[in-house]
Amino acid sequence: MFWMGAVAGGLTLAAWLLRETVLSRALAGLVSAAAGYLAGIAMAHRFLHGEPFSIPWMIGVVGVGPLGALLALALAIKLTEKTDGSRAMVTAGAAASMLLLFR
């Protein structure tokens, strides 16, 4: 679990150091989309119980997960229009939510 926190901190630091570039926005969007995908799968798994590779699990992986990723990416794009520190904050928030989901 420590290495996940180190990766999340490294991504946040990279997003802050690259705040004047497009790469920072790409990092924030990528981490936010991954967090949204995992949150969608976790939500589907909570409401649709089942074993892995069953119909409820596949609904989460194929349907709800990509929808969550799309919504999270749209929110990240809206929140990172400025070049101040908002990209690093979005990256940190999304990485923290992924760490909580993996807990």
DSSP 28-39: HHHHHHHHHHHH
CA distances from 52 to 12, 13, 62, 63, 101 (A): 32, 35, 13, 15, 17
Helices (H), the chain: 2-17, 22-47, 55-59, 65-79, 86-102
Q: What is the pLDDT of residues 38-86, one digit of tens each?
A: 888 888 877 877 677 777 778 778 888 899 999 999 988 888 887 677 8
- What residue segments make up the domains of the chain, in order of their start? 12-102
pTM > 0.85: no
Residue 43 in tokens:
């939500």
Q: Which residue has the tokens 């150091």?
A: 17
